[in-house]
Structure 1
Amino acid sequence: MPPPPKPKPPLKMFIALNSIRNTTFAVEDDFFYYEVVTRFWNPNITKIIQHDFEVRELTLRAEIEGLHSPAPRVRFGGEKGEWVPASQFVKFDPDSQGGTFATASGIEFTWKLVKRRWQLVRADDPEQKVIDFRPYKRHGLVFRMSQHAYLEVKPESEVTDAFDRIIASYLLVERKRRAARPTDKIKLLSTRAIYATVWNK
């Protein structure tokens, strides 16, 4: 009887920058390549664009409106998509900084913090980890980056087919985590004051 096939090695999806408004998520051969971009002329909209280098095609997969606002919204599928509150897309855990969301096929996943690092697990099986966040490393802790942060991804279609929603949900939970830090609370309060001024005009 032949031995069972070896499991596929995990994908490494590298995150180019520490920014959640402008960065890229890409594997080494760029087969999966997603750009997160916030244009300076439209700073309230953060777009998630998939690059297909084989056919030289760009596809808008998702948009987040007001990523740093008190009540961001999200939509998928370009202009034909429907804007929904971020809190409707990601069911944030009131007792932690994670949250649960559903893919287009209806599979639910949960982001959770384990030793201050993000993990994505099946909502119906918290022990089944599908993504593990690996933080960036620096030379001597304070010098230039020696290794980019990356997501260690289980190479299954239920995960890779849902990268648009996975990335969008990651940006939302990471934004919430950063806002909870003391240095970022001041920034968040300033942002809320700006939005309040605009809305009250």
Structure 2
Amino acid sequence: MPPPAAKPQPPRKLEFTMNSLRNTTLSTEDDSMHFEIVTRFWHPNITKINKFDMETRELVTVAEIEGLQTREPRVRFGGEKAQWMSAADFLKYDNEHLSGGTFKATEDTEYRWKTHRGRFQLVKADDPEKKPLAEFHPHKRHFFVFRMSRHAYFEVQPIPEIMQAIDKFIGGC
């Protein structure tokens, strides 16, 4: 009798600590994936996305977004030595769909943000099934007013392809 088939891994839950997208932390419960998104008051025009490297125990800048309040925001991936690119070149808006857009994680892999039944989802652009690889779940409050009963989070499928592209995934949010 063959051994039982391996159970599929459950989705990873990247939880937001704050409701501000410009100053928050995204992390899993065990902190195996930990991102810090911060806009410093002395640089109000630059938002940095830092990733905690478990091996070196330090924060590494993986992406920067400049000029969110301007007409021409820019992004760059890979730290200080990387080249700036227009945000419109990175996240291409689709006139056919009113919300979302597409971005390339690698040269041959393209993803698309979309909404489905009021949920913000990330799908592979060429997937005919349009199976979501990541899905945003908003926060909930007690009686719609009081403290949060559940923080907002991204539910990310544990596919090696998306786990490798997670830096651009967080930068493309």
- TM-score, normalised by the number of residues in structure 2: 0.92
Corresponding residue number in structure 2 for 1:131: 134
Q: Distance in 2 between matches of 1:106 and 1:33?
A: 26
Corresponding residue number in structure 2 for 1:99: 101
What does residue range 177-192 of structure 1 map to in structure 2 within 5 Å? none
Q: Per the alignment, do residues 97 and 122 of structure 1 end up closer, same or farther by CA in structure 2, a change over 3 Å counting?
A: same
Using the TM superposition, give the Cα deviation of residue 81 of structure 1 relative to its aligned residue in structure 2, in angstroms: 0.7
Whether the aligned pair in 2 keeps the contact of 1:118 and 1:132 (CA below 8 Å) is: yes
Identity %: 51
Using the TM superposition, give the Cα deviation of residue 79 of structure 1 relative to its aligned residue in structure 2, in angstroms: 1.3
2:40 is equivalent to residue 3 of structure 1: no
Q: CA RMSD in A?
A: 1.4
SS of 2:130 mapped into structure 1: strand
Corresponding residue number in structure 1 for 2:31: 30
Q: Distance in 2 between matches of 1:92 and 1:32?
A: 29
What does residue range 21-100 of structure 1 map to in structure 2 within 5 Å? 21-94=22-95, 95-100=97-102
SS of 1:40 mapped into structure 2: coil
Q: How many residues align?
A: 170
- TM-score, normalised by the number of residues in structure 1: 0.80
What runs of 5+ residues in structure 1 fail to find an aligned partner? Answer: 171-201
2:141 is equivalent to residue 121 of structure 1: no
Give 4+ residue runs of structure 1 displaced > 3 Å after superposition: none
Q: Which amino acid aligns with 1:103?
A: A
**CA shift digits 1:44-66 (9 cap, x unpaired):** 11000001245311111000011
Using the TM superposition, give the Cα deviation of residue 3 of structure 1 relative to its aligned residue in structure 2, in angstroms: 3.2
SS of 2:35 mapped into structure 1: strand
Q: Distance in 2 between matches of 1:30 and 1:115?
A: 30
**CA shift digits 1:130-158 (9 cap, x unpaired):** 00111111111111101101011101121
